[in-house]
Structure formats: structure tokens, C-alpha cells
Amino acid sequence: MNSIITDTAAMERIQEILNKKKDMIKLSLSACAHCSICSDSCFKFTSNINDPTYSPAYKVINSIGRIYKKKGKLSDDEYRTIKNLIWNKCVLCMRCYCPLGINIPSLIACARSICREKGVYRTYDEAEEGRQI
């Protein structure tokens, strides 16, 4: 089980990451037209066609988008939900593309960095959310 670190040092590091990537996150989130065309480029989405939460846009908006809007101050449960989105529903294969040129993998990688600082990440012996192998 991952430990949830909520100390001040972790929050400071999260702020640091957010400040460093602020321009990219802010521009990407505001330029996103929510067209969902990026979905066609995601093999996880195309193989789970009935689940729209696999769409790259959904993953970005509900991971880094939420973290950025709340300045990293999310509850542990919210971080766990994000973890499920950016690790279990994305393999960071970098094959997704946006017609507007938004760098989706960079945004998801940024969300992963923040989650790691928070102590939320996927371990190699983990099969699915809540299940260990």
C-alpha cells in the first residue's frame, strides 16, 4: 500500500513543479477545445471504446487540470482517483496527439511527478486499483 505523505515539504515540492510548468499547463488547459479528437490516437481508449474516461483529454483535465486548479491541495481520495487515471488508464506511450498541438504526454508526466511527490504512485506488484498480485 502506498503511503500518503501530506507534509509541508511535499506540498512545497508540488508548488515548485506547478510553478515551473505553469505556462505550459495554463496554456494547454485554456487552449484545449474539448473536442476529444485526441481519443482516436490513444490505444487504451480504442481498446476500451465504451469507457470515455480513457480519453486522453479526460485524463489530462481530471489529473493535472484538477491539481493545477486546486494548487495541489486535493484530498488523498482525489489523488488516488488521479493515480488510477494516469497510471492504470495511461501507459505514457507518447503516441497520443492533439490537433491543436497540446503536448498531452508532458501534462500526464507532470501529473505523475506531482503524485509521486504526494506519495501516490503505482507499484510494480499492483494489478488494479486495490488489488495486489
Partner 1 sequence: MNLAIPDFYDFLRGPGFAVSIIIFLSVSLYRTLCLIRATRKIQKISINTEKYIHRGSIPEQGNLLRRAVELLKIRIKNTIFGTNPVMGIISLVFHLLLFITPVFLSAHNIIADLTIGISLPAIPEQLTDIFTLLIIALGGFFLARRLFIPRVRMISTVRDYLTLLLVMAPFLSAFIAYHHFFNYRVVIYSHMIIGEIAIIIMPFTGLIHMPFIIFSRFFIDSEYSIMPGNRSW
Cβ distance to partner 1 smaller for residue 5 or 20: 20
Minimum CB distance to partner 1, residue 47 (Å):
14
Minimum CB distance to partner 1, residue 12 (Å):
23
Q: Which residues bind partner 1 (CB under 8 A)?
A: 23-24, 26-27, 30-37, 39-41, 45, 52-53, 55, 57-58, 61, 97-101, 103, 106
How far is Cα 5 from Cα 74, in angstroms, rounded to an integer? 12
How far is Cα 21 from Cα 38, in angstroms, rounded to an integer? 22
Give the three-class secondary structure for 127.
strand
Q: Residue 131 belongs to what H/E stretch?
A: strand 131-132
Minimum CB distance to partner 1, residue 83 (Å):
19
Minimum CB distance to partner 1, residue 44 (Å):
12
